[in-house]
Amino acid sequence: MTPESLLLQHVTDILHHNYHVRANQYVLLVYDLNSSLSCLLTTAYQTAIASFSHASINFNETAELELLDTFSKLPEHSVVILVQSLSFRVTKYRLRADLFRLGHQVIEHARLSYNKDEEIENYINSLKYDTPYYVKTCDAIEQLLMTHSQIKIESAENVLTINSPFEKAIKNTGDFTGNPTASSGFPIGEVFTEAKQLNAMNGTLVVFGFPTVGHLTHFAQPFTVTIKDGCLVSHTGPDEFEKILQLIRAEEHMGAVQVREIGFGLNQALGFNHHITEPTSFERFCGMHFSLGLKHTMYLKGCLLEMF
């Protein structure tokens, strides 16, 4: 299959298998053409929604008042697809959040321009419908987290141990069963938690990537970080990593770098040798990631940094 035909198959599966779009549902595609990926996704979705009652809007060529009027007149429980080289906003909130509050289903592809052209194949592959695998694996990980109070992570000769009960696992599987309104950013495939006792994490582990101040994933030669009593206390990484840590220390009243979210990525199309540069999407790579910094809304404790 060509990349274009493969992408068409994947977005069609998202519509039919993840969102179960009904024949009588209205579909709105909001897009821009400012990146290679946004152009490819726009073409694929335009083909995939052709059989539905639908409309397509170029965000950059449409006045804000016209956009707001279009959104206000959407039929109930419409499906809105956002294909964004960056992130669309018509209020102070992300457009996905605005539409979700109005009761619409949302499919979001954000910050596509952050990904390099040579990563397009990886991004397309990451959209493959794999929800049954995600559900099965997330359920198994959740069960382990509920019944155990220790995680031991071994990487090369390094060992990191977490001796604590864990918060309720949050899953990103694309299975919206039981949810009246479906909304997700793509690609998907992740489950994450957090230690209830943040100071119960000790040891060392190997890191190969992290977001920079420019919000792009920096893929580095693997380096070691040392964690003591839940805080990152030293590392052998590059200067770019230290710059991020300095920003976190400046934000925290104690000047410490707390390790927070523990994420298990499940997307088998992304990994050590299969990159995409947009960091939120790359979190779903087949491996683990950790969030640094106390400002985390999910567990009432915003992540300032992910490390992979």
Domains along the chain with CATH numbers: 3-114 (3.40.50), 131-307 (no CATH)
- What distance, in Å, lies between the first and last C-alpha atoms of the chain? 31
Neighbours of 132 (CB within 10 A): 12
- The 3-state DSSP class for residue 160 equals strand
Torsion over CA: 61, 64, 66, 69 (sign): positive
DSSP character string of 181-247: S-EEESS--EEEE-BSSGGGEEEEEEEEEEE-TTS-EEEEEEEEEEEETTEEEEE---HHHHHHHHH
How would you write the pLDDT of the chain (308 residues) with one tens digit per residue?
Answer: 899 999 999 999 999 999 999 999 999 999 999 999 999 999 999 999 999 999 999 999 999 999 999 999 999 999 999 999 999 987 777 888 888 888 999 999 999 999 999 999 999 999 999 999 999 999 999 999 999 999 999 988 999 999 999 999 999 999 999 888 899 999 999 999 999 999 999 999 999 999 998 899 999 999 999 999 999 999 999 999 999 999 999 888 778 999 999 999 999 999 999 999 999 999 999 999 999 987 555 544 444 467 77
Task: Give yes or no for a contact between 156 and 206, defined as CB atoms under 8 angstroms apart.
Answer: yes
**CA–CA gap between residue 84 and residue 144 (Å, rounded):** 37
Distance of CA 148 to the CA centre of its chain: 26
